[in-house]
């Protein structure tokens, strides 16, 4: 890698590289680029799932988004020559701040949960106001029939990760969602994984410093970003197996319910939540398949960690909750 960067007039130093923890899919390391800190991002070496770990997509987004959405870090370099590292890789501007997962770190504000939720809703709303053309991503993704294609795509991916004995809930949910696809009446830039661990914040003020991890970004229906966040937003009344998801701190004191979160975004943007139950069901169905994809990668040795061993059970629990809540008409 040092030679690859040098050939392009840059100094690259990974001798003191520090790996960031918390991510489930991509590898993120703090390195030095032209004397400044930068983040090296790449997929794990080994088989990759379709549509995941898309460094080319992230490079396209981060090449221009920062000009109109300052929370997006600048893309510094991209290499698709897998002979250099074994996988495509991306170098991204380093931004200071902390990412928050299931547990709350020490924060300077007493009302940190309220401030953090407000910050996350705010950065999501601001992203959905971005003109994709102004960000240089007017041709990103295929927004036409976005929702119907999501249903079809994730059903196909479910078949790939459950090649035998596919859960009955997969076919039931796919059929139920396909029967009532809402009209895609608005198109905007979507992050597709916008939650607390992808928003860096100042620990004293809870103000957002950056939005990171853009490898799944696309254009589509704005409320789908909200639905993805709601699918992660676990409540105390959810089944115990689902509570093991713990990717956001929604079970901690001071964080509201899914309904509270949805109402805050809808009030901020003036959008209608008429189709939100359907969208959350799709997002939860998608999340179940994603978790099963990660379980298969763990089985293959492409990702390492004891936590992945329970991902199949969690995937099935998420699928059950998706069907249960959709039939009840609740988030």
Which CATH architecture group holds 2-93? 2-Layer Sandwich (3.30)
- Pick one of 3.40.50.2300, 3.40.309.10, 3.90.1200.10, 3.40.50.10170 as the CATH number of 112-328: 3.90.1200.10
Q: How confident is the model at residue 20, as a pLDDT?
A: 84
Per-residue pLDDT reduced to its tens digit, 223-260 = 999 999 999 999 999 999 999 999 999 999 999 999 99
Query: How would residue 35 be classed by pLDDT, with cut points 50, 70 and 90?
Result: very high
Q: How confident is the model at residue 17, as a pLDDT?
A: 87
Domain ranges of the chain: 2-93, 112-328
pLDDT score of 169 more than 80: yes
Per-residue pLDDT reduced to its tens digit, 174-228 = 999 999 999 988 999 999 999 999 999 999 999 999 999 999 999 999 999 999 9
pLDDT score of 52 more than 80: no
Q: How confident is the model at residue 47, as a pLDDT?
A: 59
| pTM of full prediction above 0.85 | yes
Q: How confident is the model at residue 290, as a pLDDT?
A: 94
Query: How would residue 281 be classed by pLDDT, with cut points 50, 70 and 90?
Result: very high
Q: How confident is the model at residue 49, as a pLDDT?
A: 58
pLDDT score of 134 more than 90: yes
The 3-state secondary structure of the chain, one letter per residue: CHHHHHCCCCCEEEEEEEECCCCCCCEEEEEEECCEEEEEEECCCCCCCCCCCCHHHHHHHHCCHHHCCCCCCCEEEEECCHHHHCCCEEEEECCCCECCCCCCCCCCCCCHHHHHHHHHHHHHHHHHCCCCCCCCCCCCCCCCCHHHHHHHHHHHHHHHHCCCCCCHHHHHHHHHHHCCCCCCCCCEEECCCCCHHHEEECCCCCCEEEECCCCCCEEECCHHHHHHHHHHCCCCCCCHHHHCCCCCCCCCCCCCCHHHHHHHHHHHHCCCCCCHHHHHHHHHHHHHHHHHHHHHHHHHCCCCCHHHHHHHHHHHHHHHHHHHHHHHCCC
């Amino acid at each position: 890698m040092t030679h690859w960067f040098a050939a392009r007039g840059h100094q690259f130093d990974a001798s003191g590289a520090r790996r960031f923890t918390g991510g489930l899919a991509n590898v993120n390391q703090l390195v030095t680029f032209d004397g400044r800190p930068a983040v090296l991002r790449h997929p794990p070496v080994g088989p990759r799932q379709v549509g995941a770990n898309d460094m080319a997509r992230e490079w396209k987004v981060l090449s221009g988004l920062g000009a109109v959405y300052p929370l997006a870090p600048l893309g510094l370099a991209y290499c698709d020559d897998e002979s250099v590292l074994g996988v495509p890789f991306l170098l991204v501007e380093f931004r200071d701040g902390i990412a928050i997962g299931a547990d709350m770190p020490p924060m300077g504000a007493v009302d940190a949960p309220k401030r953090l939720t407000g910050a996350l809703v705010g950065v999501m709303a601001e992203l959905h106001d971005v003109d994709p053309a102004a960000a240089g991503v007017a041709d990103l993704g295929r927004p036409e029939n976005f929702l119907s294609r999501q249903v079809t795509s994730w059903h196909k991916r479910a078949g790939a990760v459950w090649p035998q004995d596919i859960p009955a809930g997969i076919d039931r949910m796919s059929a139920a969602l396909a029967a009532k696809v809402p009209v895609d009446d608005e198109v905007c830039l979507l992050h597709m994984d916008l939650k607390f661990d992808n928003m860096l914040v100042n620990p004293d003020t809870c103000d957002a410093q950056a939005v990171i991890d853009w490898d799944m970004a696309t254009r589509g229906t704005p409320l789908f970003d909200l639905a993805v966040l709601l699918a992660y937003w676990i409540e105390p009344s959810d089944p115990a197996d689902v509570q093991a998801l713990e990717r956001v701190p929604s079970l901690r004191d001071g964080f509201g319910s899914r309904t509270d979160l949805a109402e805050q975004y809808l009030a901020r943007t003036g959008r209608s939540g008429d189709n939100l139950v359907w969208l959350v069901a799709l997002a939860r169905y998608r999340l179940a398949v994603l978790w099963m994809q990660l379980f298969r990668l763990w089985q293959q040795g492409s990702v390492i960690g004891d936590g992945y061993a329970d991902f199949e059970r969690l995937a099935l629990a998420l699928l059950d909750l998706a069907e249960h809540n959709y039939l009840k008409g609740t988030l």
